[in-house]
Chains A and B, each alone.
Chain A
Amino acid sequence: MTIRAVKTAVSIGRNGVGGSFILQCQKMDFHYCDWFGSSKGMNGFIKSLLPKFAAAHPQIEITVSPRPNKHPVIIGHYINGKQKAICTRNMEPLQILKKVELLRDASGEKNRRITKPVQSINPSVRGVWSPYHGEGITV
């Protein structure tokens, strides 16, 4: 049993609160192949669009590496330690740009269905209603 901090004393990070925002996507790997025809759009993307995307996002580390005899792939690495990989075979450069934006906007969490729109960890502002407090009800 290791020693742990008291649970109530641990603060929970909430991205964006207090004026600081951190993009969740840390790193993107671009893999291409010089020989495969499915990598044609990817090679064009790396030549034409990737430098501008990289310049616009200094907070994302970008690596480009060959992966011979395989389809082109983009892999996004996130702050929570997870990865997302998208195969971009036979895609045009602008289609690949959309996939890159998808990876940039993602949080790294698994896709899950959420029915309630608001998620909060704050305690309830007005508290729980009690019949024994307040002015009471005359029957």
Chain B
Amino acid sequence: MSRALLRSVLELRTPITRLPPSFLLPIRTAGARCLHQTSQIVDPVQQQLEAGIPLQPQAQKPSSSSPIAEAASNISSSSQPTTQPAKLHPSVRQLLPILAAQPGRYITIHIHGKPYLVTEGDSVRLPFKMPGVTPGDVLRLNRATNLGSRDYTLQGSPYVDERLFECRAVVIGTEAEPMRTLVKKKRRCRRKKTVHSKHRFTILRISELKVCDVNGLD
């Protein structure tokens, strides 16, 4: 009883007191956590539109990182062996700053292997209840297959290099669905069994989506 109590109290505590301040946590794990990165394919969509649309110099700079400390975020699979990150393709070096300069941005993040195409400020209702998170926790989402703006798309093979973007999500809470009722009945038999189920879902909000600078990367 007392251990369960202690654990629940530790879990209930706000993330501010549970983790060190965010400036002490690593923003990026210095290239050691790039998992199975091979090479990127940049397909400039509608190259000739580039001349028509004026590129804004620094558009939609996301606000500073949240004061809430970040929880560990590699949701998909953190048990992969760490490998040396692949070298960036020259086209990524050339075109990613142009992608970053365009105002809108979208990303296809993968959580437990399922893709979610999101932009900044969207809410995602995960199809499961994430264990061990409380409302207010910040997750760093580092697995993505696409990163794009209006005219450019960076497509990963299969995943985009996680050094190229920063995507964070805040856990908003847990929601439930209305109770499902299923009546199990066989023919010519009066017996009926009613089965109830009610699932719970974790709600995330994409709080930050930033394209990183490619200059410091090799």
State whether B172 touches A107 (Cβ < 8 A): yes
Q: Which of A49-77 contact B (CB under 8 A)?
A: 49, 52-53, 56-57
State whether A120 touches B121 (Cβ < 8 A): yes
Give complex CA distance A102, B203 in Å: 13
Q: Cβ of B5 < 8 Å from any Cβ of A?
A: yes
Q: Cβ of B122 < 8 Å from any Cβ of A?
A: yes
**What is the minimal beta-carbon distance from A114 to any residue of chain B, in angstroms?**
6
Listed stretches A2-10, A15-23, A26-34, A35-43; interface member: A15-23
Given contacts A21-B136, A23-B135, A104-B135, contact A125 B106 (CB under 8 A): yes
Q: Cβ of A122 < 8 Å from any Cβ of B?
A: yes
Given contacts A21-B135, A56-B13, contact A15 B8 (CB under 8 A): no
Q: Cβ of B40 < 8 Å from any Cβ of A?
A: no
Given contacts A125-B104, A135-B48, contact A120 B5 (CB under 8 A): no
- When A and B form their complex, what is the total count of cross-chain residue pairs whose Cβ atoms lie within 8 Å? 126
Q: How many residues of B contact A (CB 8 A)?
A: 51
CB nearest neighbor in A for B137: A21
Q: How many residues of A contact B (CB 8 A)?
A: 42
Listed stretches B30-38, B81-89, B154-162, B174-182; interface member: B174-182
Q: Cβ of B185 < 8 Å from any Cβ of A?
A: no
**What is the minimal beta-carbon distance from B144 to any residue of chain A, in angstroms?**
14
Q: Which of A87-119 contact B (CB under 8 A)?
A: 94, 97, 101-102, 104-107, 109, 111-114, 117-119
State whether B12 touches A52 (Cβ < 8 A): yes
Q: Select one of B4, B46, B176 contacting A134, CB under 8 A.
A: B46
Q: Select one of A97, A125, A127 contacting B8, CB under 8 A.
A: A97
Given contacts A21-B170, A107-B172, contact A121 B64 (CB under 8 A): no
Residues of chain B within 8 A (CB-CB) of A17 are: 120-121, 205-207
State whether B116 touches A117 (Cβ < 8 A): yes
Residues of chain A within 8 A (CB-CB) of B134 are: 105
State whether A127 touches B150 (Cβ < 8 A): yes
Q: Cβ of B123 < 8 Å from any Cβ of A?
A: yes
State whether B149 touches A56 (Cβ < 8 A): no
State whether A117 touches B170 (Cβ < 8 A): no
Give complex CA distance A33, B142 in Å: 50
Q: Cβ of B94 < 8 Å from any Cβ of A?
A: no
**What is the minimal beta-carbon distance from A76 to any residue of chain B, in angstroms?**
12
Residues of chain A within 8 A (CB-CB) of B119 are: 120, 122, 125
User: Apart from A94-B4, A126-B45, what are 17 other A-B pairs with CB-CB below 8 Å?
Assistant: A14-B123, A16-B172, A21-B170, A57-B12, A94-B8, A105-B134, A107-B175, A117-B124, A119-B122, A119-B123, A120-B119, A120-B122, A121-B121, A122-B104, A125-B105, A134-B46, A134-B48
What 5 pairs across the A-B complex have the smallest Cβ distances? A16-B170, A19-B66, A16-B205, A105-B174, A125-B104
Binding site for A on B (CB under 8 A): 1, 4-5, 8-9, 12-14, 45-46, 48-49, 63-68, 104-106, 116-127, 134-136, 148-150, 170, 172-178, 203, 205-207
